[in-house]
Structure 1
Amino acid sequence: MDASILLVGGDDLLPTLLERIRDVVTCTLEVVPSPSEAVPLIQAQQPDVIILQSNQLESLALCRQVKEQTKLAWIYCIVLETSLSGLSDDRRQYLLQIEARASALENGADAYLWLPQTTATGEPLEREMLIQQDRLLKSQILCGLRMVQTHRELIRTNDILSAIALSDPLTELNNRRALDWELPRQVQNSRMRLEPLSLLILDIDFFKTINDTHGHAVGDRVLQLISSRLRHNLRFRDTLFRYGGEEFVIILSSTDEMEALLVGRRLCRLVSDQPFSIDDTVNLLVTISAGVAALRADDDPKGTSLLRRADQYLLRAKAEGRNRVIGFLDDCEEELGTRG
């Protein structure tokens, strides 16, 4: 069984319990003598099941600490009691068992097991009793492992669904929803690290004409080919999104506006210089236009104003002839040229 168990207990418990666990279930076993020593191991390895000895002072505190952490709360915690008196009909002993069980569950334990080592008179337990104890121990461990497996399958499913929700099915790029999540994070990182941040909005020129002339299947293929060409010609720190229709957004981290303009112009050349081979009979020359904007101190934390500013420059690029990149620095050059 592909699972791991962490056993936390003293010398009075460990030798016997280790053998019993190995007999009832096959998995990876780690052992630590005290709850305080277990903490770094739990953080690092995140075992599936933790078995804690109840008579150790810090056991219940450790159980509570595990359950209070979201990233660890799925770990199945079993509190094991062996220190109460042996089997008897004593009413006081019964109440002690109930109290110990309640305390364990209140502190986050998923299960509480009472496995006495002897009878009330101190004699060893009968073989049949030990067999039934081992059966109970095995069933409780397997119950925990089933719950952990269910949790992990849910996490995997959620990861798949999240990936689908954030991916554009046609181009396999990040989609607009992914941009809405990523851009505020990039803005925050830029401001925390005092690093520049720029953004490019790209649009395929005359894309409607491509659809009208060659059909939407060819238009979809153009989107796929351009996506691939852009993706394979970006720097490792750049993040590409399909913003919608024939528009794309690229977040350029650690990039000022001058660098962003150079990146945009390079991408324009890469798209326009080589035709796109749709099939054996159709080769299309395609160009793109782009708007560039760099993050400013007065931009909102979601990046909405940054995105809007880049979009405005994109509109100018298309109005001024397409197949070009326009940004704030172009305004500065025009102003200087006018003054000169």
Structure 2
Amino acid sequence: MNISLEDSICVFEKDINNDVLLTWSFPSIDDGIRQVVLNRTSLTQEKISLSFNFSKYKNFWIYIYTSYISAQESHKETFPSNLKRVVAYSICLVRNNFNPEKYGALAQIMSNVYQSTGDCSKLLECHLRVINRGQFDIGPLGKFQESDYDVRRSYLATSIKDIITLFGDEIILIWSAMIMKKRIVVYSEKMSSLLKVIRAFPLLVSHRQNWNILRPYVTMSDLELKDLTTTGIYCAGFTDPSIKSHEDYYDILVDLSSKDVTVSSHAKDQFILGSFHRDMLKYFNAALEDEEINDQDVIKGLVKKTKELLTKLETLKEEKDGKQQITQESLDARKLPNGMAAFIMSIVNAEGLNG
């Protein structure tokens, strides 16, 4: 059986002396992945985030479930002896696909198993059963059935109407950044709010069906920032407020704490709103006002309006070098409204219309 890095599981523990160690992994993970996973567990921080989080590094999705061990629990006679000096631990799963609900449920059950037994071989048993059979049942500690977690439900876990309501008219800036494939940074004080909101952004360009653009949670470590910049285009989440002063990492900044969307100084000429933006904003507002329109209706409407836009852009193609394409020169010749040419060229590049 060949187990790859994309199917890794590891356990980090924090003890009563505040030391944090990788106590077990299968298969072994390299130093880079280990440091990134450790950063994202929050175990090295003074305040531990006792919750589930998901993130991405390189091509790997990282799912982390962190639990606290109370003094009362650890003093029970039946409590595993190897965990009696442990105050918190994280079960970390490395995978190659997006499905927070699936891997969150799996990590939580594994956390139950670990706190109950302290036995990593039991984690390995669950791990291998999922890989080979897609299921396991360990009685009162939990039952997992892979087929229960359709990834399409994970795509729709956050209501797009809630996102539109949250940002009001500024949703048009987020939509513009997504359709033009610009760099988006989302900041929130709370991890839960960050992950809930950022995962919905790809729904704004649902015709692409691409959640790989997400980097839901990134720390300010040099290793992670270097990885972020090498991806080129991204929608990245941070809980460190210092990211707000680093305009070189984003084209727009979405601040969930203040509900403000800020366009960076170097990208302002690409975010000049025109007639199509106003039309799209009317669509967003109309969708909110109509209670009979659900999230899937909104998404279908967005796909339809995007296809209408792309069809219009096809009519702007002119022959150059033996093929039909849209050029900056041809757009300038049409004397389009201020900012429209830049918007069109960004979409042409994002959608590969000249390919």
| Normalised TM-score (structure 2) | 0.26
Structure of larger gyration radius: 1
| Normalised TM-score (structure 1) | 0.27
Q: Which has the higher contact order (CA 8 A, sep 6+)?
A: 2
